[in-house]
Amino acid sequence: MPRTDPASGGTPAGTAAEEQLAVDLAGVSVRYGPAKQPVTVLDAVDLRVRAGEFVVLVGPSGCGKTTLLRVIAGFVRPASGTALVRGAAPRPGRGAGVVFQQPRLFPWRTVGGNLGFALARHGVPRSQRPGRIAELLERVGLPGMGGRRTWELSGGQQQRVALARALAAEPELLLMDEPFAALDALTRERLQEEVRSLAGRLGTTVLFVTHSVEEAVLLGSRVLVMAAGPGRVVTDLAVPLPRDPDTDVAGLRSSAEFARLRGLLAGALLPA
């Protein structure tokens, strides 16, 4: 079975010191449970993500993918090792935008109200919010929908609002935890293509969790395969597919190179 270099992070030696890494985890371990009988959920994970990379995490349920994102978001503090986001310890609400599997919108606010709340928290003055809301809705393909109730929207539309909310704070880092898992296949494909080109246009660094091999290969500039018991990164696969915004994504999906990478990743996901 083909295996690429484990967890090396792919950063060429010599340039690492010059550039500010978007994410730099070194020997990060996370343990849950009582101090007497801790369960090691992540074991000495090293992960280096350069600014502008789109890194996809795949691996069996329970291997610690969500926990890894929570460390980077600053929700979970490692038991050992160091976690840095742009050179500083991660703090919740600072720096990273987060999109979950469920959109988690406030049902008592309109679509615009949900975005306005995020903008306010980000310190955007009230007078500027309507313009920014319109811009964000445009960006995620929901122009003019600010007055709608969130429960009037389809699952895909709600997830677009959740993405717009994450973008409200203009994050340099976007953490997406199986964001399309609950969507129908067509909506999912459309959103994949939009997130792919949006991240490229905005230059946002993305960490994206999925169970779909196809989604991983399409979205990732790099795919990390994790294993469970305890959670660790076992494969680091570069995805050398074109990423410029006017890429023909439908053509890409049916290309031989796409099929080759999909096969490679599927092989890496088989239990050792």
- Residues interacting with Mg ion, by CB under 5 A? 66
Q: Which does 6 bind (CB under 5 to 8 A by kind): ligand ADP, Mg ion, none?
A: none
Residues 147 and 111 sit within 8 Å (Cβ to Cβ): yes
Shortest separation between residue 166's beta carbon and Mg ion, angstroms: 17
Q: Which does 63 bind (CB under 5 to 8 A by kind): ligand ADP, Mg ion, none?
A: ligand ADP
Shortest separation between residue 122's beta carbon and Mg ion, angstroms: 26
Residues 224 and 64 sit within 8 Å (Cβ to Cβ): no
> Based on CB atoms, which residue is closest to ligand ADP, 63 or 239?
63
Ramachandran region of residue 141, left (φ > 0), alpha (ψ -120 to 50) or beta? left
Q: Which does 41 bind (CB under 5 to 8 A by kind): Mg ion, ligand ADP, none?
A: ligand ADP
> Based on CB atoms, which residue is closest to ligand ADP, 58 or 241?
58
Tracing tokens 């306010």 back to the chain, one arrives at 120
> Based on CB atoms, which residue is closest to Mg ion, 29 or 66?
66
> Based on CB atoms, which residue is closest to ligand ADP, 59 or 146?
59
Using DSSP's 3-state secondary structure scheme, residue 150 falls into helix
Q: State the DSSP code for 11.
A: P
> Based on CB atoms, which residue is closest to ligand ADP, 30 or 264?
30
Shortest separation between residue 72's beta carbon and ligand ADP, angstroms: 12
Contact footprint for ligand ADP (CB under 6 A) = 32-33, 41, 61-67
Enclosing H/E stretch for 177: strand 173-177
Shortest separation between residue 93's beta carbon and ligand ADP, angstroms: 19
Residues 211 and 178 sit within 8 Å (Cβ to Cβ): yes
Q: Which does 268 bind (CB under 5 to 8 A by kind): Mg ion, ligand ADP, none?
A: none
Shortest separation between residue 233's beta carbon and ligand ADP, angstroms: 12
Instruction: Give me the DSSP letters along 26-79.
Output: EEEEEEES-TTS-EEEEEEEEEEE-TT-EEEEE--TTSSHHHHHHHHHTSS--S
Residue 78 CA to its chain's centroid (Å) = 20
CB-side neighbour CA atoms (13 Å) of 121: 17
Shortest separation between residue 103's beta carbon and Mg ion, angstroms: 16
Q: Which does 127 bind (CB under 5 to 8 A by kind): ligand ADP, Mg ion, none?
A: none
